[in-house]
Amino acid sequence: MANTIESYVLFELGGSLYGIPSANVLHIDMFEHVTLVPNAKPAIDGVVFSRGQVIPALNLRVRFGFPREANTLRTRIIFATVHDRTVGLIVDTAREFRSLPRDSIRPIEETLTGINGRYLKAVTKVGDRLVLMLDLEAVLNVDDVQLPAAAEKLAAQPASS
């Protein structure tokens, strides 16, 4: 049986390389502006307007417990979807799309014993760098990243032109 190739979007956060399945990525935009939302969870920077929709913007640095840093020209928002829920993931830089053989990706518990893999699903290597594969369902856990009710209603509606 031939080894299956799967496509991933690779991005950097805090000097580490991460990957998410490209099937979950709608698009990637440069970071421009986030509208603050009162009483949002700490990792929710606010909402962004993208392609006719208002979408919550999740700061992955904060989500993972890393220190906040100022956005730069390299900062990107990766618009990802899981179970019909779309969120903009704010990352340091989005590097590339990469096709990886399925058998090169190892479950996190097989490779990194003793590490809390709450948001991690697997690990692989690209060149000489480790790539930590995210568990998008855990990252986008509704209870942890819930917007306040008013903002949730706003994000659920298409914006008027």
| pLDDT tens digit sequence for 25-76 | 999 999 988 999 888 888 899 999 998 899 999 999 998 889 999 999 999 9
Residue 120 located in a structural domain: yes
Residue entry with tokens 């060149």: 127
Residue 140 located in a structural domain: yes
Residue 161 located in a structural domain: no
Would the pLDDT of 152 be above 70? no
Among residues 161, 151, 158, which one has the least CA distance to residue 40? Answer: 151
Question: Which domain covers residue 89, as residue numbers?
Answer: 5-156
Give the chain's domain count. Answer: 1
What is the average pLDDT value for the chain, to the nearest integer? 83
Would the pLDDT of 114 be above 60? no
| pLDDT tens digit sequence for 11-20 | 999 999 999 9
* pLDDT at residue 1, as a whole number: 47
* Band (112; pLDDT cuts 50, 70, 90): low
What is the distance between the alpha carbons of residues 19 and 102, in angstroms, rounded to a whole number? Answer: 13
Residue 36 located in a structural domain: yes
Where residue 77 sits, what CATH number does that domain have? 2.40.50.180
With a pLDDT cut of 90, the percent of the chain lying above it is: 45
* pLDDT at residue 137, as a whole number: 87
What is the distance between the alpha carbons of residues 138 and 133, in angstroms, rounded to a whole number? Answer: 12
Residue entry with tokens 């990802």: 80
Are 135 and 30 in contact, with CB atoms under 8 Å apart? no
* Band (103; pLDDT cuts 50, 70, 90): confident
Residue 20 located in a structural domain: yes
Residue 24 located in a structural domain: yes
Residue 91 located in a structural domain: yes
* Band (90; pLDDT cuts 50, 70, 90): very high
Residues 21-28 have a mean pLDDT of: 94
Residue 69 located in a structural domain: yes
